[in-house]
Amino acid sequence: MEELAIEGGTPLRTMPYPSWPVWDEREQRQLLEVLHSGQWGILDGGKVAQFERAFAAYQGARRALCVTSGTAALEVALRALGVGPGDEVITSPYTFVATPSAAFLVGARPVFADIDPATYLIDPSQVEAAITDRTRAIVPVHIGGCPCDMDAIMEIARRHGLYVLEDACQAWGASWRGQPVGAIGDLGCFSFQASKNINAGEGGAIVSNDPELAERCWSLHNVGRVREGAWYQHEFLGWNYRMTEWQGAVLLAQLDRLPEHVALRADNAAYLAARLGEVEGITPAAVDPRVTGHAWHLFIATYDPAAFGGRTCAEFLKMLNAEGIPCSAGYVPLNRSPAIRRSLAEQAGEIGPWELGEVDLPELPACPVAEDLCQRTIWFQQRLFLGDHEDMDDIAAAIAKIQRAVL
């Protein structure tokens, strides 16, 4: 019997997986152009504007606006939709904290609708059940880069007169029934943070087909200026969330490479899913047949302890890491997050800002599916899918090795 690496045996794999970020002379040339131009901000530069046009075209949207982060994009988008105090925003408990944070940051309240256990994506029937007369917007999150059921969500939104803001922060190049995500709803947000599949260190974008909403976002991200107005003419209250030309330059080069990366990740992910189909107890997240493009920011799989001699998912992840396979546990359910519960209490006036220590934070309604899955989920990150099928074979082989050893 082979000894597990965690117990001192030889790791199944010692070769590293592809590293991230990926860059070449394209990024270098773009960055030097900005440096030498002396135009480092968007007010007189052209890189961000050029990227916005290219990214809008890539996502099949009329307009794209770059901002400083995905979080800023969500905040600006909600403000542009007029979401504010007293309003409720329905979103998923299985997402990055920025999704519900953005609702709080505009004074609104996030309400969690549980996820579908097969896909990890917001369950449209749970969205419908969470609607009240205060609901203003639905924020579906295309987690891992897999589009949500946009047919059902758009239909619910239309029937109830709600806005749809797509959190597409992990879904560059993803599409639902042939339509790129982001501009299926009223507005869509993307992130270019360092871990993301297209990376400028930090950065975000808002896409839209609605010119009026796009103008509102432009004003909000540019301290409330108006397009033809004077420099010190501020018609609205806004932020300075302008992206720098450095980021625009890097993003132009990154976007150039994105289509080939999207295809490569999709090929490797499909191959890994097939290989894991041969392993008992590891079930990849289901992909709806109406998904025509998946960004594969994350490859998400559900772990069944019974198939691994009762080892917990945390124990299994340690064993798999020791075998040379990078993997992690992923999100905690946000309906249990102290930050969210604290913000709710603050919003209700039950506690003051920075009131820490002995405070009783309110409990939110349970999201049983997300809470259960967060205990037994495995993430493989996007960079692993930039190699070849042998890289995928090693993942399956390491899992099989562990299974033989613990059973």
Ligand X SMILES: *Cc1c(COP(=O)(O)O)cnc(C)c1O
The residues that touch ligand X, with contacts defined as CB under 6 A, are 69-71, 95-96, 98-99, 141, 167, 169-170, 191, 193, 204
Judged by beta carbon, residue 123 or residue 167, the one nearer ligand X is: 167
Cβ–Cβ contacts within 10 Å for residue 233, how many? 10
Distance in Å, CB of 170 to ligand X, minimum: 5
Q: Which of 24, 29, 3, 99 is nearest to 335 (CA)?
A: 99
Q: Which of 279, 316, 302 is nearest to 400 (CA)?
A: 279
Judged by beta carbon, residue 124 or residue 204, the one nearer ligand X is: 204
Distance in Å, CB of 70 to ligand X, minimum: 2
Judged by beta carbon, residue 71 or residue 337, the one nearer ligand X is: 71
Distance in Å, CB of 74 to ligand X, minimum: 6
Please give the Cα distance from 154 to 164 (Å, whole number): 7
Please give the Cα distance from 210 to 63 (Å, whole number): 8
The total number of residues shown for the chain amounts to 407
Distance in Å, CB of 92 to ligand X, minimum: 9
Judged by beta carbon, residue 204 or residue 293, the one nearer ligand X is: 204
Segments of 335-406 assigned E as strands:
377-381
CA distances from 161 to 124, 136, 164 (A): 15, 8, 10
Judged by beta carbon, residue 92 or residue 219, the one nearer ligand X is: 92
Distance in Å, CB of 95 to ligand X, minimum: 5
Judged by beta carbon, residue 141 or residue 399, the one nearer ligand X is: 141
Distance in Å, CB of 21 to ligand X, minimum: 15
The alpha-helical segments, DSSP class H, found in 90-131 are: 98-105, 124-130
Please give the Cα distance from 48 to 41 (Å, whole number): 9
The H or E element spanning position 269 is helix 245-276
Q: Which of 208, 207, 241, 211 is nearest to 224 (CA)?
A: 241
Distance in Å, CB of 98 to ligand X, minimum: 4
Please give the Cα distance from 337 to 374 (Å, whole number): 13
Judged by beta carbon, residue 172 or residue 316, the one nearer ligand X is: 172
The CB-nearest residue to ligand X is: 70
